[in-house]
Amino acid sequence: MTESFSMLAILPELVLIGSALALLMGAAYVGDRATMAISWLSVVALAAAGASLACPGVLAGSVMGGLFRADAFGAYAKVLIFVAAAASILIAPRFFNRGGQNGLGARAEYPILILLACVGMSIMVSAGDFLTLYVGLELNSLAAYVLASFMRQDERSAEAGLKYFVLGALASGILLYGISLLYGFAGSTGFDGVSAAVADGLDKGELFGLVFVLAGLSFKMSAVPFHMWTPDVYEGAPTPVTAFFASAPKVAALGLTVRVAIEALGPAGLAWQQVIIFIALASILLGAVAAIGQTNIKRLLAYSSINNVGFALIGLAAGTQEGVAAVLSYLAIYIVMTVGTFMCVLQMRDQAGNPVESIASLSGLSQTRPGLAAAFAIFMFSLAGIPPLFGFWAKFLVFDAAVAAGFTALAAIGIAASVIGAFYYLKIIKTIYFDQPAEAYEARSGRVEYALMSVTAAIIVVGYFFNPLLDRASAAAAASLF
């Protein structure tokens, strides 16, 4: 592979890096009054990075000595990451300008931090070596720590950023220790080299390395038992940042875990499948049970995200090409549901325009804001997996892949736990439609938020028409790993 082809293979990353640096210089010279222009230019940069994936030669396979994988799997994940990031940028200015940051207004560095985080996530899903993996993960994490504490005058945001930083540093240390163990016993940091080493038999050192690596990645996925940061960070961070954390980094972390499991640890399937099965079931059960008593909508959605990570991991636990395709389809549908749900949360404002997060404030919403109530109901039913909404198809795919791989008991437990999880989604719908009306929210809503909410709700309702396209794209992306 020539150097020119290597550079072409990282074209999306080059577009994002160049755009972030250029916009950073513009923000330094012009200041916060250019926030709207920088936000829209950042969205254009994400669109250009996504469009560059269609250029000939970009999907060049393994490049740069095996450090980077420019394949269909990475391209699929990058499209989801860029879409979620663009939505998180578009909804931010209105939030920060209308009381979201104690009236201080939007800041020009917000979209730039999102772009830099996307560079890290893009490297993560295309990593072919544990060194590349770690560089991408840390680049994403450094931007995420700043985003979590973006509201400097808000104690909750500062606390969220500090917790995320401390626990994130611990998880990075665990991951790095696992990588060093695999390198020491396998003699390589490349996924191909590690795969060849574990194919000869998994010794104790490699087993410990495998467990530590999966533990570090579990933190990034917010999977049990490394989920403890998620509710506090989701609640304390600004709502646009929470929407970002709940969508794009989830895709990157799950995509990276899938690639590591299949490409680097594939021959040791029996070992890592047991770990993934435990993480999946623990995440499903804790996410379902812990969400029941929540009174804050963002904390509830934090536990919902933990629950959904568990369902997605059921597809990975199958260890088959069909299972990986099911995970990818699940992530695509999950992104739509998550973005739409947070568009609804952003409409929760009192008459003074201040954000409201209590679930009790949704009481009787169907009488005061029937359109918003209908959108909430669509997303809650879909997250619960109620047919015929698109969320049902996501869960069906992972359960079907598990059964086809012989994990019938795992699928049965997942189905039973999904009934528990449905309780708190239906509780919100009951509050909206059957409780006595609380104080009405403000009537105005942002055009961008309303458009995104309408589009995502429409996709959830008529999503089955997209099944042929989604299935083909997921199958092609999964096939590139095998």
- Model confidence pLDDT, tens digit, residues 11-28: 899 999 999 999 999 888
Contact status, residue 16 vs residue 45, Cβ threshold 8 Å: yes
| Confidence grade of residue 399 (pLDDT, cut at 50, 70, 90) | very high
pTM across the whole model? 0.92
From 322, 338, 303, 395, select the one nearest 91 (Cα to Cα).
338
- Model confidence pLDDT, tens digit, residues 241-295: 999 999 999 999 999 999 999 988 888 878 889 999 999 999 999 988 888 888 8
Report how far residue 36's alpha carbon sits from residue 32's, in angstroms, rounded to the nearest whole number.
9
- Model confidence pLDDT, tens digit, residues 285-316: 998 888 888 888 999 999 999 999 999 999 99
* DSSP designation for 296: B
- Model confidence pLDDT, tens digit, residues 190-218: 888 888 888 887 888 888 989 999 999 99
- The sign of the torsion formed by the CA atoms of 162, 168, 174, 179 equals negative
β-strand partners of 129: 190
The mean pLDDT value for 347-373 works out to: 84
Q: Where are the beta strands (DSSP E) in 224-327?
A: none
Q: Is the peptide bond before 231 cis (omega within 30 degrees of 0)?
A: no
Q: Is the peptide bond before 225 cis (omega within 30 degrees of 0)?
A: yes
Q: Locate 263 and state its tokens.
A: 């490409």
Contact status, residue 315 vs residue 257, Cβ threshold 8 Å: no
HEC-encoded secondary structure of 343-409: HHHHCCECCCCCECCEHHHHCCHHHHCHHHHHHHHHHHHHHHCCCCCHHHHHHHHHHHHHHHCCCHH
Query: What DSSP assignment string belongs to 233-246?
Result: HHHHS-HHHHHHHT
Report how far residue 324's alpha carbon sits from residue 319's, in angstroms, rounded to the nearest whole number.
7
Report how far residue 307's alpha carbon sits from residue 291's, in angstroms, rounded to the nearest whole number.
9
Task: Report domain extents, the chain.
Answer: 3-479
From 148, 145, 124, select the one nearest 134 (Cα to Cα).
124
pLDDT over 60 at 103, yes or no: no
**Number of helices followed by number of strands (H, E) in the chain:** 22, 2
Report how far residue 68's alpha carbon sits from residue 79's, in angstroms, rounded to the nearest whole number.
17
